[in-house]
């Protein structure tokens, strides 16, 4: 799991987009996200001076606390996304051997090595002489996604 830098900013809300907003601080714009529940607890208004604390993500700041200038902080909770039962991530270790065994047991022929991602492996495989397919396999060995292989990504003939 990546560790995101904690940030604390004070500035003025420039634009509001539902539960996201831009904050101008030291003449620089930042995109921040309160989440749908956060905006219920702290309504956003264009031109409002605020202080916030949160985690700097690649695309935005996930706000953990926000306050009007001079006011008390309001805590903001961000729920983890729910991907459904097919996308369950067991607390199993990331073992490529488990993933390869599961894919082969399901009748797939694997080409190359699995690509490790934060919460799953991606595997290039096919049934018999069928089309190459990209499989997404969680650490417990569950194949939860199948899609046509991107020939550029996997370096396989079209």
pLDDT values of the chain reduced to their tens digit, one per residue, 158 residues: 456 799 999 999 999 999 999 999 999 999 999 998 898 899 999 999 999 999 999 899 999 999 999 999 999 987 766 555 555 555 667 889 989 999 999 999 999 999 998 889 999 999 888 889 999 998 888 888 898 888 888 887 76
Predicted local confidence at residue 152, as pLDDT = 83
Query: Domain extents for the chain?
Result: 5-75, 85-151
Q: Tell me if domain 5-75 and domain 85-151 are identical in fold.
A: no
CATH of domain 85-151: 3.30.505.20
What is the pTM assigned to this prediction?
0.51
Q: Which fold has domain 5-75?
A: OB fold (Dihydrolipoamide Acetyltransferase, E2P) (2.40.50)
28-33 vs 5-17, strand pairing mode: unpaired
Predicted local confidence at residue 155, as pLDDT = 82
């Amino acid at each position: 799991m990546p560790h995101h830098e904690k940030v604390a900013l004070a500035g003025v809300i420039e634009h509001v987009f539902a539960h996201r907003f831009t904050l101008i601080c030291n003449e620089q714009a930042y995109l921040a996200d309160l989440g749908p529940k956060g905006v219920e607890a702290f309504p956003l208004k264009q031109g409002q001076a605020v202080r916030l604390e949160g985690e700097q993500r690649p695309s935005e700041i996930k706000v953990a606390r926000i306050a009007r200038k001079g006011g008390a902080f309001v805590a903001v909770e961000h729920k983890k996304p729910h991907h459904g039962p097919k996308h369950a991530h067991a607390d199993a270790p990331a073992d490529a051997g488990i993933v390869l065994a599961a894919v082969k047991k399901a009748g797939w022929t694997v080409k190359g090595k699995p690509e490790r991602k934060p919460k799953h492996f991606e595997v290039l495989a096919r049934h018999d002489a069928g089309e190459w397919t990209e499989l997404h396999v969680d650490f417990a060995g569950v194949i939860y996604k199948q899609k046509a292989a991107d020939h550029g990504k996997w370096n396989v003939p079209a």
